[in-house]
Amino acid sequence: MNFPPWPKGKKLVHLDLKGAPPRIEYLHKLIELFSQLGADGLLVEYEDMFPYGGELSLLQATAHPAYSREVVLSIQDVAKSKGLEVIPLVQTFGHMEFVLKHQSLGGLREVAHCLGTLNPHREEGVRLVMEMLRQVVELHPGLQTLHIGADEVYLLGEGEESKLWLASPGNTVEKLFLSHVTRVAKAVKEAWPHLNVIMWDDMLRGMGHDTLKASGLVGLVQPMLWDYNPVLDVDNTVSLLEKYHSAGLSELWAASSFKGSTSVHSSVPGTQRHVDNHLQWLKVAASAPAAMNLQGIALTGWQRYDHLSVLCELMPLALPSLAACLQTLIHGQFSAEAQSKVTESLGISSVEVEAMQRTSAGDSLFAGRQLAELVVELTSLLNSEDMRYFESSMFVRGWFTPYHRQRKMVNPLITMQIQSQATMLLAVLEQKVEAVRGEMVRLYPDSTAQEWIEQHVSPVTAPLRRITEEITACLEEMMPSLAPQ
């Protein structure tokens, strides 16, 4: 496929800091790398890494320290020195898990068991959101653009106050959504008239032209259409752009993905999948009317699907994908020239992180390469048949079933072989895990390494450890002299 390059506007790299926040030295290197790879802006989702103060200080991360005010300013300084605009993203309606998880703020939830959605009827909720925005804006001198989130506002309308409100004639969930977002956007514009305000578009998609036109959002916000699918529906997306444009929402953004959108627990991204997503967005841009005012595209790199989900692909694993996606936008296709640019700049032989090999001993732009290589090796071992399906092997299912374990009556010859194999696998795995841990703590907080290992490694090792312990218990009861000393 060959399309014109991305037409105009910013190419923003999304930094999702609600998981695996890089140590500041590494983050500075990443920002420089993003610039060298072709980005011209950052969309920074600080979440609990922002140094909220005063009554909001409880929002700061506890597993590791939040970034200091000095660090937040240094991020902007490095970005500015490389010609990158910084756009903070602060959730103001949905995906407020990091705020509403706190019991003291639980009364501001729309529904008690949904930690992500703010109750739009409470004045305290609006004040909370505006104080979050105030602190973020004030720590970003010279800020031009702010993203207020507002995606995936789950269970909106299901709270008791919303049900009462919806019982009045003419009130709808759409109006309820629009009233809160409009109120926040207006408050932002009143406080900082010069700011451009971006919001995610998904809650607007099902709304009719007239509803959007009368929503109060026209002239206030710039919708950012997100779709991370490698086979996104181009015609439907163009129609959506046209609907927003004709309703008066004339300044529009796109959002693609270079990592964190394949599966919630994925550790290693596939570059081609993400390149295909960007090829589809190029097709959208080429098919959109010339009058369409595309402000730019955000290449999202999710670190978690939400604040409480598992860590997905770490940034070093996704740098080949990011480089490939940026070059696809710049060239209008993932041509041989674009691929060459990626492999040469990163010093790798393949754009797929699983297949990359060092092409030279010299330095390259690939900050975090060692961790990427180690995680690929470890993930391959974790997914191997011997490791993943050990409990389903013929020997375990034949000679060490729950029946055998409960009665502690086993064939010592075979169970000792099972134990020996499990112990050997665990030893090999432990060696690789320690190598990953050692490299990961250079780039990320210790707590991130611990979390990643517990989430991605422990579920595989736990059954193996349990089997070795249970075999020992059986042997000690049957033949104490045969039990490992």
Q: Which two tokens stand for residue 472?
A: 């020992």
Rounded to two decimals, the pTM is: 0.94
Residue 198 belongs to what H/E stretch? strand 196-200
Bridge partners of 146? 197
Alpha helices, H only, 249-359: 271-287, 315-331, 336-346
Instruction: Extract long-range pairs of 109-114: CB within 8 Å, 24+ residues apart.
Output: 109/159, 110/155, 110/156, 110/158, 110/159, 110/162, 111/155, 111/158, 111/159, 114/154, 114/155
Which residues are within 8 A (CB) of 88 and not within 5 positions of it... i.e. 6 or more apart? 44, 45, 46, 136, 137, 140, 143, 146, 147
101-117: b (≥16 Cβ within 10 Å) or e: beeebeebbbbeebbbb
Question: What's the confidence (pLDDT) of residue 36?
Answer: 94
Half-sphere exposure of 472 (CA within 13 A, CB side): 11
Alpha helices, H only, 347-401: 369-382, 385-388, 394-399
Half-sphere exposure of 338 (CA within 13 A, CB side): 21
The candidate with the shortest Cα–Cα distance to 267, out of 304, 238, 300, is: 304
SS3 357: coil
Question: What's the confidence (pLDDT) of residue 225?
Answer: 98
Domains of the chain as residue ranges with CATH: 10-361 (3.20.20.80), 376-482 (no CATH)
The residue type at 281 = W
- What confidence tens digit (pLDDT) does each residue in 208-227 have? 999 999 999 999 999 999 99
Question: What's the confidence (pLDDT) of residue 483?
Answer: 54
Number of CB atoms found within 10 A of residue 215's CB: 22
**Are 159 and 100 spatial neighbours (Cβ–Cβ below 8 Å)?**
no
Q: Which two tokens stand for residue 224?
A: 């950012």
Q: Which two tokens stand for residue 1?
A: 């496929």
Q: From CA 53, how far away is CA 368, in angstroms rounded?
A: 32
Q: From CA 261, how far away is CA 16, in angstroms rounded?
A: 12
Bridge partners of 395? none
In the sheet that holds 251-259, the strands lie side by side as 85-88, 41-45, 10-16, 293-301, 251-259, 222-226, 196-200, 145-147
The candidate with the shortest Cα–Cα distance to 271, out of 377, 380, 361, 348, is: 348
The candidate with the shortest Cα–Cα distance to 355, out of 314, 386, 326, 321, is: 321
Q: Which residues are catalytic?
A: 152
Cα torsion for 426, 431, 433, 435, to the nearest 10°? 180
- What confidence tens digit (pLDDT) does each residue in 155-175 have? 999 999 999 999 999 999 999
Helix axes 315-331, 271-287, angle to 10 degrees: 30
**Are 82 and 32 spatial neighbours (Cβ–Cβ below 8 Å)?**
yes
Residue numbers in the chain where pLDDT is lower than 70: 1, 358-364, 482-485
- DSSP letter string over 247-273? TT--EEEEEEEEES-S-TT--S--HHH
- What confidence tens digit (pLDDT) does each residue in 256-266 have? 999 999 999 99
Question: What's the confidence (pLDDT) of residue 485?
Answer: 58
DSSP code at position 14: E
